């Protein structure tokens, strides 16, 4: 079997539409109809809702949990309603790789840092699929396509066999659809963001 993997020269939001097109191409095989999508401010979720409209695809959008780095959640309430009215789900769950203080170990950070060796989007894809399965929005063993990115937008997509945190060892990455070729570290990402805002 041969499957195409696309590597973006740079990560970031400029790859969002290309990522969606690659996911659409993969979904044309007909064996997957569920996308688990990371979206912090709702911009990527809105684009995905428009892009995949009328294609029989279910979106499960996973924003940041409440009280994460902000006094007010950045995901617009009206978009939550719009997504749900369109038959999609929005899940505000505990972000699993940010729980060190809660559980009193460094396991979550160690896992996150290891996954970031592939790229930030790979780390987020794992996290949102686990969160989605914990919430019962995907079933263990179900194939889904996860989409995430580096800071903003989408640049990473994986075909994943879902699993819950209770059965983490059952999670499988079946395919890499796309990812940045030269991913930035989380510190490099923060530095770039600070330069753009400064």
Domains of the chain by residue range: 6-197
Position with higher pLDDT, 26 vs 196: 26
Per-residue pLDDT band for 67 (boundaries 50, 70, 90) equals low
pLDDT of residue 143 exceeding 60, the answer is: yes
Higher pLDDT, 150 or 26: 26
The counts of H helices and E strands in the chain are 7, 7
Residue 86's pLDDT band, with cuts at 50, 70 and 90, is very high
Q: What is the pLDDT of residue 189?
A: 72
Strand (E) or helix (H) holding 82: helix 77-85
Return the exposure string of 13-38: e unless at least 16 CB atoms fall within 10 Å of the residue's CB, then b: bebbeebbebbeebbeeeebebbbbb
CA distance 26 to 32: 9
This prediction's pTM: 0.88
pLDDT at 113: 82
Higher pLDDT among residues 151 and 95, named by residue: 151
pLDDT digits (tens, 9 = 90+) for 101-125: 666 667 778 888 888 889 989 999 9
Considering the chain, what is the average pLDDT of its residues?
88
Q: What are phi and psi of 177, to 5 degrees?
A: -90, -50
More confident residue, 100 or 150: 150
Which pLDDT belongs to residue 66?
47
pLDDT single digits (tens) 9-49: 988 899 999 999 999 999 999 999 999 999 989 999 999 99
- In this structure, whether the domain defined by 6-197 belongs to CATH 3.90.950.10 is answered with no
């Amino acid at each position: 079997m041969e499957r195409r993997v696309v590597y973006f020269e740079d990560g970031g939001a400029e790859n969002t539409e290309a990522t969606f097109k690659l996911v659409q191409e993969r979904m044309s095989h007909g064996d997957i109809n569920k996308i688990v999508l990371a979206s912090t401010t709702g911009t990527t979720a809105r684009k995905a809702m428009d892009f995949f409209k009328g294609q029989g695809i279910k979106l499960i959008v996973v924003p940041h949990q409440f009280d994460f780095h902000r006094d007010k959640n950045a995901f617009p309430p009206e978009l939550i309603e719009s997504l749900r009215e369109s038959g999609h789900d929005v899940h505000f769950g505990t972000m699993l790789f940010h729980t060190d203080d809660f559980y009193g170990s460094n396991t979550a950070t160690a896992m996150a840092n290891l996954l970031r060796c592939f790229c930030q989007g790979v780390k987020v894809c794992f996290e949102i699929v686990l969160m989605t399965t914990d919430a019962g929005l995907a079933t263990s063993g179900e194939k889904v396509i996860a989409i995430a990115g580096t800071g903003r937008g989408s640049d990473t997509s994986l075909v994943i066999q879902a699993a819950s945190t209770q059965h983490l060892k059952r999670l499988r990455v079946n395919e890499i659809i796309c990812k940045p070729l030269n991913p930035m570290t989380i510190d490099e990402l923060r530095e770039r963001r600070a330069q753009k805002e400064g």
